[in-house]
Amino acid sequence: MRELRIGVIGTGMMGCEHIRNVLALDGARITAVSDPYETSLVWAQKNLGESACDVGIFGDHRDLLASGLIDAVIVASPNFTHVDVLRDVLATEIPVLVEKPMCTSIRDCQDIVVAAENRSAITWVGLEYRYMAPIAKLLEVIRSGELGELKMLAIREHRFPFLVKVDNWNRFSRNTGGTLVEKCCHFFDLMNLAIGARPLRVYASGGQDVNHLDEIYENQRADILDNAFVIVDYANGVRASLDLCMFAEAGRNEQEIVAVGSLGKAETALPGDGQVYVGHRSDRVVTPHLATMDASVAHAGFHFGASFIEVAKFCEAVRDGRPPEVGVRDGLWSVVIGAAAHRSIDEQRSVLISEYNLDRND
């Protein structure tokens, strides 16, 4: 195939990150961008630099899709717009990579699964954490059997508050799907991937205790959760937990992941020291395994090179006619756990996934 022509829908922070990814990637170029906000389009043009004059600029994503300027598209618009943008994309045969979360509700995700699987072009979901070098190495250790049978997986993220977005859309759960969907679907995807089974039960406790308490927009108070504990029971007996705090900037590591099996334990951290530490119960010896960023990464960006790897793999799949490594069902199940966690917090009870009446094929 000739140089792959890429369009970007939504040119805020992540849209511009993907523009930079494509600019650094051989065999692909940005040929069109769209965003209804002029400020965001200006950001896109600044990131495009000298190539901006050769790029189609659109205020409406439908005009971009109909322009004939693209071979594939990346969707990085606000969460609440994903379902409508995807419906328009999936009515075509244009391959798409959509940023996480795929949609903000389980029902919308299910609709997108049906639409995506009724066409031939690929739909790739942007859950790039699995491509971060330390996490990829940790997953490799789990799969190797070195830890024995995986029994527990713990993820901790202690970080800064949500950033400011256009029109402050991310200050309201109705727009984001809730913090445990918006921010944490990455982590639930890692749980699903590492554990290799479906979740059965979710229990969560959380609240909005520190951040955005005095923020009011159009007479509505910001309502986004800023801390939570989430416990997930899986069908194969493995348990997973998430410890989230978004008013904990003053820590050594932003993210820590620990996997414990019947024979040993593996742990890593981000930003960390680039090591995965593996210990065995038999001798209590802990061995560091260096997890270096892939040499092919030409733009490290916000995610330690993971979003560049994701875009490169997406482009390879489009060229080669291969299925996506991260598909719509992965997107669905990463949202299912987050939605169940929010229900658990709201109703102060554990939530069975069976309550959602998900089709067995999902």
- For 113-159, the pLDDT digits (tens) are 999 999 999 999 999 999 999 999 999 999 999 999 999 999 999 99
Look at residue 349 and tell me whether its pLDDT is greater than 70.
yes
Contact (CB, 8 A) for 352 and 201: yes
Pairing type for strands 199-207 and 227-234 reads antiparallel
Pairing type for strands 227-234 and 239-245 reads antiparallel
Look at residue 257 and tell me whether its pLDDT is greater than 70.
yes
Nearest to 167 by CA among 175, 179, 157, 159: 175
Give residue 360's identity as a one-letter amino acid code. Answer: R
Three-class DSSP category at 233: strand
Considering only the top CATH level, what class is 130-301+332-356? Answer: alpha beta
Three-class DSSP category at 101: coil
Contact (CB, 8 A) for 200 and 352: yes
For the chain, what are the domain ranges?
A: 4-128+309-322, 130-301+332-356
Look at residue 361 and tell me whether its pLDDT is greater than 80.
no
Residue 289 main-chain phi, psi, to 5 deg: -120, 115
Three-class DSSP category at 208: coil
pLDDT tens per residue, range 34-65: 999 999 999 999 999 999 999 999 999 999 99
Place of tokens 């727009």: 175
Burial of 88 (0-12, 13-18, 19+ CB in 10 A): middle
- Whole-angstrom Cα distance, residue 142 to residue 148? 8
- Whole-angstrom Cα distance, residue 2 to residue 352? 49
Nearest to 186 by CA among 132, 116, 252: 132
Q: What is the pTM of this model?
A: 0.96
Res 208: pLDDT: 98
What is 4-128+309-322's CATH topology?
Rossmann fold (3.40.50)
User: Largest Cα–Cα distance in the chain?
Assistant: 63
